């Protein structure tokens, strides 16, 4: 009698056969060894960070507490007594809050980054993760989207709230721009401004007559003649647009630029903190160094040009980010009336006392810090003893 071999014999390639199991096992090993993190790995790291309630409370407070408290109280006070308390939003409040949010947001993102780069080590889980066969590069890269998914929405919500209050519960747009002791109609281009100054010599004299205090733009001790206006036309218009930006509520396109710049600050702080935390393996030391960079090192280097070290100052990422700061936040600066938005906290374009670097150099510094610290952090994780 002829014997018929079973279809489930050892030479078949069905899903449950040894050959099929070998292929499935090889696929699993390839996924574990891949340097690209899987969605499950990212979600797991996100959950690990989110469960650290003390860290989450600190991040929420740093990212959202200031605008919520300031705008909340101003809305309440204006609703209770509108004659005594003005509208909740204004250009000064907007620029002041956003500059402060950039400072506190940097610290919040850096703190989260250092935590993401060291939690596996401090919890004793790094050895177990390595034993599973997962790529160390994937373990590092998974921290980037998981951490940014926490801090970016918080800062985005806080900024959106500031924009909404400024737009719908703020002061109405002014029809004139106050410059020194005079005023000029708002919304003029350079040719219209030159024409208006020539037609209104008395108002022009109040705007550009040199006085005892700080002066916005060029000034003269004599009469503001058409020749003076023509000679300083570019400088006059630059001063006019700078004062216009600080006295008017930001337009939608300006708010978008400011929001993108704010999120860039958060991304840079998180990635640098992540790389530094991974390099040192100690969350506390890395966090202290990041805070010192933001509130001590960067302001000192931004205020004064150090002889023979100007190019070294420009290598600090905070200097490059300050130069990139949108004009709506830093238009008023040295020589302008009042403190200017840059003086609200520890730095800002208003107190940037060094010559600006070329645009390509500014971009190179920002990209260099992002890529450099990411490479350093990944390298340290890949070479660390388990």
Report the C-alpha dihedral over residues 115, 121, 124, 127, rounded to 10 degrees. 130
Predicted confidence at residue 177, as pLDDT, reads: 78
Residues in the chain: 386
- Judged by DSSP in three states, 185 sits in strand
Percentage of residues in the chain with pLDDT exceeding 90? 39
Reply yes or no on whether the pLDDT at 2 is more than 50: no
pLDDT-wise least confident of 121-130, 142-151, 195-204, 287-296: 121-130
Reply yes or no on whether the pLDDT at 14 is more than 50: no
Predicted confidence at residue 186, as pLDDT, reads: 82
Query: Which range, 52-66, 219-233, 240-254, 318-332, has the best average confidence (pLDDT)?
Result: 52-66
Predicted confidence at residue 343, as pLDDT, reads: 34
Tell me the angle at which helices 283-292 and 91-122 cross, rounded to the nearest 10 degrees. 160
Query: Which range, 85-99, 273-287, 301-315, has the best average confidence (pLDDT)?
Result: 273-287
Name the pLDDT band for 267 (thresholds 50, 70, 90). Answer: very high
Q: Rounded to the nearest 5°, which phi and psi values hold at 170? A: -110, -175
Exposed e or buried b per residue across 144-183, where buried means at least 16 C-beta atoms within 10 angstroms of its C-beta: bebbbebbbebbeebbebbbebbeeebbeeeeebebbebe
Which secondary-structure segment (H or E) carries 184?
Answer: strand 182-185
Q: What is the mean pLDDT of residues 130-159?
A: 89
Contact 8, 17 (CB under 8 A): yes
Contact 320, 339 (CB under 8 A): no
Distance CA 164, CA 254 (A): 14
Q: What is the pTM of this model?
A: 0.79
Distance CA 114, CA 153 (A): 19
Distance CA 173, CA 296 (A): 37
Higher-scoring residue by pLDDT: 232, 213: 232
Contact 290, 114 (CB under 8 A): yes
Which secondary-structure segment (H or E) carries 182?
Answer: strand 182-185
Distance CA 291, CA 288 (A): 5
Residues 6+ apart with CB under 8 A from 230: 194
Contact 350, 333 (CB under 8 A): yes
Contact 1, 102 (CB under 8 A): no
354-378 pLDDT, tens digit per residue, is 888 888 999 999 999 999 999 999 9
Residue matched to tokens 């950039």: 102
Name the pLDDT band for 249 (thresholds 50, 70, 90). Answer: confident
DSSP letter (8 states) at residue 349: G
Report the C-alpha dihedral over residues 204, 206, 211, 216, rounded to 10 degrees. -60
Query: Of 221, 262, 242, which Cα lies nearest the Cα of 338?
Result: 242
Q: What is the mean pLDDT of residues 57-82?
A: 93
15-27 pLDDT, tens digit per residue, is 455 555 555 444 4
What's the distance, Cα to Cα, between the start and end of the chain in Å?
A: 62
CA angle 195, 199, 201 (to 5 degrees): 115
Name the pLDDT band for 222 (thresholds 50, 70, 90). Answer: low
């Amino acid at each position: 009698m002829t014997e018929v071999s079973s279809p489930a014999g050892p030479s078949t390639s069905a899903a449950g056969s040894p050959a099929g199991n070998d292929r499935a096992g090889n696929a699993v090993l390839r996924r574990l060894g891949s340097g690209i993190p899987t969605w499950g790995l990212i979600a797991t790291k996100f959950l690990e960070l989110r469960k650290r309630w003390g860290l989450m409370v600190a991040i929420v407070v740093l990212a959202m507490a200031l605008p919520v408290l300031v705008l909340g109280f101003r809305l309440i006070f204006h609703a209770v007594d509108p004659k005594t308390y003005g509208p909740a939003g204004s250009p000064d409040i907007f620029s002041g809050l956003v500059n402060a949010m950039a400072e506190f947001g940097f610290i919040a993102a850096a703190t989260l980054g250092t935590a993401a780069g060291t939690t596996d080590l401090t919890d004793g889980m790094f050895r177990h993760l390595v034993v599973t066969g997962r790529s160390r590069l994937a373990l590092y890269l998974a921290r980037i989207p998981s951490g940014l998914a926490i801090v970016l929405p918080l800062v985005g919500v806080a900024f959106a709230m500031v924009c909404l209050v400024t737009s719908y519960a703020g002061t109405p747009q002014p029809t004139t721009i106050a410059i020194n002791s005079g005023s000029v109609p708002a919304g003029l281009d350079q040719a219209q401004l030159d024409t208006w100054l020539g037609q209104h010599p008395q108002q022009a004299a109040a705007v550009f007559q040199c006085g005892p205090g700080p002066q916005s733009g060029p000034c003269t001790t004599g009469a503001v003649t058409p020749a003076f206006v023509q000679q300083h036309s570019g400088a006059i218009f630059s001063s006019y647009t700078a004062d216009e930006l600080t006295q008017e509520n930001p337009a939608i396109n300006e708010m978008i630029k400011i929001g993108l710049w704010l999120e860039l600050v958060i991304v840079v702080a998180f990635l640098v903190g992540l790389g530094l935390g991974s390099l040192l393996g100690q969350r506390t030391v890395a966090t202290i160094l990041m805070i010192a960079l933001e509130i001590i090192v960067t302001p000192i280097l931004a205020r004064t040009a150090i002889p023979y070290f100007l190019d070294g100052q420009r290598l600090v990422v905070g200097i490059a980010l300050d130069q990139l700061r949108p004009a709506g936040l830093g238009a008023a600066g040295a020589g302008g009336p009042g403190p200017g938005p840059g003086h609200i906290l520890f730095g800002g374009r208003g107190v940037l006392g060094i010559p600006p670097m070329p645009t390509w150099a500014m971009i190179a510094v920002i990209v260099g810090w992002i890529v450099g610290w990411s490479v350093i952090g990944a390298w340290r994780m890949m070479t660390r003893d388990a």
